[in-house]
Amino acid sequence: MKSHTEYLSINTEERYEIVHLTPRIEEAVRKSGVNEGLCLVNSMHITSSVFINDNEHGLHQDFLAWVEKLAPYGEDKYKHNLTGEDNGDAHLKRTLMGREVVVAITKGRLDLGPWEQIFYGEFDGRRKKRVLIKIIGE
């Protein structure tokens, strides 16, 4: 069995941002040489997310508006913020959007549905964070 590990470095300009990762993950799959297997992609930070959905800008804006409605930013809203942080909302947003995705690799390619793409969701940005890509298979 083969194993391949890569780390993506992401530093968004905005506090909230969605970043398209699929091309970078496809490149990692090519480099891995895995023909049949699995690809795990996960955020290594507790205020960001990795998820699969459509690559449509309006939908991305809807996601950000939805999580903001459910967990609005505000220093006085969260007990976590009493520790000196201001990102209690970002922890909740990450929980809503998810930590990771696992995608099958078939015939050396990500086996995604017709509209599926992989994204990184940032909820406490403007600093360097990492995403793990772990590929295993034959």
What is the DSSP code string of 13-34?
Answer: SSSSEEEE-HHHHHHHHHHHT-
Residue 117 maps to which CATH number?
Answer: 2.60.120.460
Other Cβ atoms within 10 Å of 127 Cβ, number = 11
If one counts the domains in the chain, the total is 1
User: What is the DSSP secondary-structure string of 73-102?
Assistant: --TTS-GGGGGT-S-HHHHHHHHHH-SEEE
List the domain range (segments joined by +) for residue 21.
2-137
Single pTM value for the model? 0.96
Q: Kindly give the confidence (pLDDT) of every residue in the chain, 138 residues in length, as a single tens digit, with 9 standing for 90 and above.
A: 999 999 999 999 999 999 999 999 999 999 999 999 999 999 999 999 999 999 999 999 999 999 999 999 987 889 999 999 999 999 999 999 999 999 999 999 999 999 999 999 999 999 999 999 999 999
